[in-house]
Each structure stands twice: as C-alpha cells, then as structure tokens.
Amino acid sequence: MKYDLSKKPTRGAQRTLESFSKTMFNLLAKKSFENISVNEICEISNFPRATFYNYFDDKYDLLNYCWHLLSSQIYLNEQPNETSEKSLATLFDRTYYLLSSHNELLSAILKNNPLDSSLISNFSAYLKRVIQEVFHEYLHFDNNEVPIELVVDHFSNTVMLILEAIFLKRQPITLEEAHKYLNFLLGHLVEGSQ
Amino acid sequence: MKYDLSKKPTRGAQRTLESFSKTMFNLLAKKSFENISVNEICEISNFPRATFYNYFDDKYDLLNYCWHLLSSQIYLNEQPNETSEKSLATLFDRTYYLLSSHNELLSAILKNNPLDSSLISNFSAYLKRVIQEVFHEYLHFDNNEVPIELVVDHFSNTVMLILEAIFLKRQPITLEEAHKYLNFLLGHLVEGSQ
DNA sequence: AACATATTTGGACACTTGTAAAACTTATAA
DNA sequence: TTATAAGTTTTACAAGTGTCCAAATATGTT
C-alpha cells in the first residue's frame, strides 16, 4: 500500500479511499475479480489512474484494503482475561457475526467468483491472518509438547474451516452445530473441556 | 489448461511442455514469480508466445502444471486398506519425502519469493488439494458427530500445517517430532490412538 | 487571505497480455 | 507421392499495466 494508513487521512484522502473501495465492492458484486481492471475502477470512481497508483500498488492492494475495512470491526470490544475455551468460542462467535453482517455482500461476490478462485482464497487467507493475530494475543495455552505457534495456527485453521463451510461453501450449519464441531475437533486441547 | 493432459502427448508436445516447465522452475529459482513474464519464459524456451498460449491460459496455469509435475509422484505406491491412524502417518510421510526430495529447489524458490507471497500460497494450496484428495479416498473415518468432509479437511489442514513449518518456514523439526505434533493435534480423532 | 508544502492530475512512455487468423511445417497413412 | 490432419509460427491488434514528470490544485498553517 502506497498510502500510509497510520497517519490520519485528509478529507480528500478519505473521499478517495472510500470511493475506490466502494467501487471495488460494487464491482465484485457484479463481475469476477480477474475481469476487473484498474482502468474500470478509475472510470467508475471518476479519478485518474495516477491517483489510484498514489494510493495502491495494484488492484490486489486495493482488495486487501477492502478486506481490511470489512474485518477491522473484529478488533472492537475485545475482552482479554478469558480462559482458552472461552476465547476460542468468543473469537469464533465474533467472526461469525462479522460474516453474518456482510452476508448479502458475500453472497453476491460468490455468484461471480468461484469458491476456488484466487479472490476467495485471498479473502480466506486475509481473515485467517486476522484470526491468527487475535488468537496470538488472547489465547493463553501452556504446554511443552508442541510449539505455541503451531497450536495457534491449528486453532485458526479450524475456526476458518467451519466458517468457510458456513459462509463460503454455504452449508446449512447452525451456530449450535458449529460449536459442537469446534469442540469435537479442538475440545481435547482446551482447558475446561468435557 | 488449454492442452489436454489426458491424451498422450506427441514428441513435440512433450518437448514443449518440458521446456516451458523447466524454464519456469529455473526462473523461480532466480527471481520472484510476479517479475516473471510470459514473454521472458518464451524467449528463454525459444518458443513464440502464441505457442505458449496453445498450451497454457497464462503463467499461473503453467505454474499449476509445474506443481502437478512436482506432486504427481505422491500418487504412486498407494496402499489402501490401512487404518485411519496408519494412513494419516503414511500420507504425512509420503508428502514429507516428496518435499525432501525437492528441498534444494524449494530452498531456491523461497529465496526469491517471500513466505506470504501469492506464489507460496499457491503452492501450499495446490499441495493441500492433493492431500485432501488422497485423504478423501483412503481415510475411512466413521462418526456421526461431524460431516466427514470437515474431518478430511481438518486432517489435511493439520498435515499441511506441520509440513509448511518444516519446508516453508524452515523450522528445524525432526520427523519424529513431527509425528508427535501430529498425534498431539489429531490423535484423539484417530483409531488406535493412545 | 497568503503562504509553503503536499497531493492530484493528465499525458506520455515502454512494456505485457490474450486473442485471432493466415501461413507454414511436419509426420504419418492412403 | 500426395493428402490430410495436427501442431507451430508469424503477424497484428486492442487493451491493460505501472512509472514518470511537470503543471495544476488542494491543504493546513500563519
């Protein structure tokens, strides 16, 4: 990303960032990512191409920023000091509701971008990274059997596995069932499991 | 892929396929995938661009073919009729030795392509699909708690997690330790586990 | 309102991409 | 040998990509 998100953006920069990302979301709901060109994004957003490249390296970079916008809500309302079991279920639920709240958008995107497309992989990978980060911060898991990194990744993988089944593969799994699956696959590793 | 791999290729086609894939492997050991162009591949291989497009859709398609070449060995010497536990360890070992046998190539590729690049994700994803296929065929796992697809994917994820740690993140993990981790993370789901 | 500083803009550039159609080369079978 | 089919090469095209620059414009102080 060319633009520095850490400094607070000017009003103009806000307009530009919002315009490009909105256009990307709109286009993704209409056609496949590979058929979206920077030219098209700029024409629709009514900005010259040079401006696009002032902010983003390429269309993948803009996509990343879009996922960032989508998923940044997940960081809100964090409550540390939970047991591993609770934080596992809590993070799962938080991500579940995040995805639920963008369900229509996801549904439209899936109409134009097949499950095995690079777009969907990219989205999954982004979300997994977010979950990994949060786990890494809030999952306190003591053992000397296996490196903690591996356990964190294992947990993230499993959470994503179930969320992908629900929100990407569109399998009719209730939240209750999801919890059951999660416990079946990871329960043995979690404090306070039955 | 434009070229039909199911029919047996003519001598000329063999030469062409091998030439393009060899060039790709050589280039990957020299520079990053994103900086490799179809033009470059064709110049080095000494084929006109149109010939490239007779065989492949784009450079990603050739890359896929390269992974296919690398990983097709994994299908050899299949021995069904094993317990889940055995087939889990067996498939792990088979993939472990496959990756070991291409260790120098992988090492060179990693020098030019960062762990979080799309190239490496692409390779991981390809390998994961291969493992999923094999598991799906040979892992007999009976339970009515969780859909079998989810369990197969969970197993594949975990196998890949450890293999990535060893061969991509280059962590010094012995085969024995790898088995211990595998058992720690998945042992409870496998017949005959202690 | 005026200023120095930063950003945006439009145009140009060299390059890559994927497709299409016609011309050419082979190898093999009739 | 000739016919034929398959693959290969050539050439051209329309479009996209990412970078660069100098002029125009916006921004946040004073």
Predicted confidence (pLDDT) at residue A112 exceeds the cutoff of 50: yes
A157-181 as b/e: b if 16+ CB within 10 A: bbbbbbbbbbbbeeeebeeebbbeb
CB contact at 8 A, B49 and B42: yes
pLDDT at position B190 = 84
Residue numbers of the domain that contains B86? 77-189
Specify the number of domains making up chain B: 2
Residues B111 and B18 grouped into a single domain: no
What would the two tokens of residue B30 be? 């020299």
Give a yes or no: residue A5 inside a domain: no
pLDDT at position B76 = 63
Nucleotides of D strand lying within 7 Å of any protein CB atom: 6-12, 15-21, 26-28
Give a yes or no: residue B121 inside a domain: yes
Confidence of residue B12 (pLDDT cuts 50, 70, 90): confident
What would the two tokens of residue B60 be? 């990603």
Asked whether residue A53, judged by its CB, lies under 7 Å from any atom of the DNA or RNA strand D, the reply is yes
Residue-wise pLDDT tens digits, B58-75:
999 999 999 999 998 777
Residues A35 and A95 grouped into a single domain: no
Residues B166 and B132 grouped into a single domain: yes
Give a yes or no: residue A21 inside a domain: yes
User: Final residue of a domain: which of A70, A102, A120?
Assistant: A70
pLDDT at position B144 = 84
Give a yes or no: residue B72 inside a domain: no
Distance CA B56, CA B65 (A): 9
Share of chain A above pLDDT 70, in %: 92
pLDDT at position A41 = 98
Specify the higher pLDDT residue, A161 or B9. A161
Q: Which of B154, B161, B180 sits opposite A185 (nearest CB)?
A: B154
pLDDT at position A73 = 79
How much is the pTM? 0.94
- Stretch B96-110: mean pLDDT: 96
Confidence of residue B81 (pLDDT cuts 50, 70, 90): low
Specify the higher pLDDT residue, B63 or B87. B63
CB spacing of A185 vs B125 below 8 angstroms: no
Q: Strand locations in A13-106, DSSP E?
A: none
pLDDT at position A76 = 65
pLDDT at position A80 = 55
How many CB pairs (< 8 A) connect A and B?
A: 55
Whether A140 and chain B come into contact, CB under 8 Å, resolves to: no
Choose among A183, A72, A110: nearest CA to B154: A183
Whether A194 and chain B come into contact, CB under 8 Å, resolves to: no
Residues A58 and A87 grouped into a single domain: no
Give a yes or no: residue A140 inside a domain: yes
Predicted confidence (pLDDT) at residue A193 exceeds the cutoff of 80: no
Residue-wise pLDDT tens digits, A2-33:
999 999 899 999 999 999 999 999 999 999 99
Give a yes or no: residue B96 inside a domain: yes
pLDDT at position B150 = 97
Whether A153 and chain B come into contact, CB under 8 Å, resolves to: yes
Residues B90 and B51 grouped into a single domain: no
Whether A158 and chain B come into contact, CB under 8 Å, resolves to: yes
Measured CA distances, B144 to A53, A180, A181, A184 (Å): 53, 12, 11, 11
Q: Show residues of chain A in contact with B168, CB under 8 Å.
A: none
Q: Which of B146, B153, B158 sits opposite A154 (nearest CB)?
A: B158
What would the two tokens of residue B121 be? 């994700």
CB spacing of A146 vs B118 below 8 angstroms: no
pLDDT at position A137 = 87
User: Final residue of a domain: which of A21, A40, A70?
Assistant: A70
Distance CA A148, CA A156 (A): 12
Number of neighbours of residue B50 by Cβ within 10 angstroms: 8
Contacts of A192 (CB under 8 A, 6+ apart): A83, A85
Q: Which of B32, B154, B155 to mutate to test the interface with A (most CBs of A within 10 A)?
A: B154
Kindly identify which residue of chain B lies nearest to residue A179, measuring between CA atoms. Answer: B146
Residues B57 and B133 grouped into a single domain: no
Distance CA B31, CA B23 (A): 12
pLDDT at position A194 = 43
Confidence of residue A144 (pLDDT cuts 50, 70, 90): confident
Distance CA A111, CA A105 (A): 10
Share of chain A above pLDDT 90, in %: 79
Distance CA A178, CA B186 (A): 19
Residues A18 and A45 grouped into a single domain: yes
Residues A55 and A96 grouped into a single domain: no
Whether A11 and chain B come into contact, CB under 8 Å, resolves to: no
Distance CA B49, CA B12 (A): 16
Q: Of all helices (H) and strands (E), which one includes residue B89?
A: helix B84-101
Give a yes or no: residue A173 inside a domain: yes
Confidence of residue A192 (pLDDT cuts 50, 70, 90): low
Residues B86 and B122 grouped into a single domain: yes
Residue-wise pLDDT tens digits, B17-43:
999 999 999 999 999 999 999 999 999
Give a yes or no: residue B106 inside a domain: yes
The integer distance in angstroms from the CA atom of B13 to the C1' atom of D3 is: 23
Residue-wise pLDDT tens digits, B123-180:
999 999 999 999 998 887 778 899 999 999 999 999 999 999 999 999 999 999 999 9
DSSP state of B8: P
Residues B86 and B180 grouped into a single domain: yes
Mean pLDDT, chain A, rounded, equals 92
pLDDT at position B67 = 96
Distance CA B94, CA B169 (A): 19
pLDDT at position B83 = 66
Residues A66 and A84 grouped into a single domain: no
Q: What is the CATH number of the domain that holds B19?
A: 1.10.10.60
Distance CA B99, CA B128 (A): 13
Predicted confidence (pLDDT) at residue A75 exceeds the cutoff of 90: no
User: Final residue of a domain: which of B22, B38, B62?
Assistant: B62
Residues A54 and A17 grouped into a single domain: yes
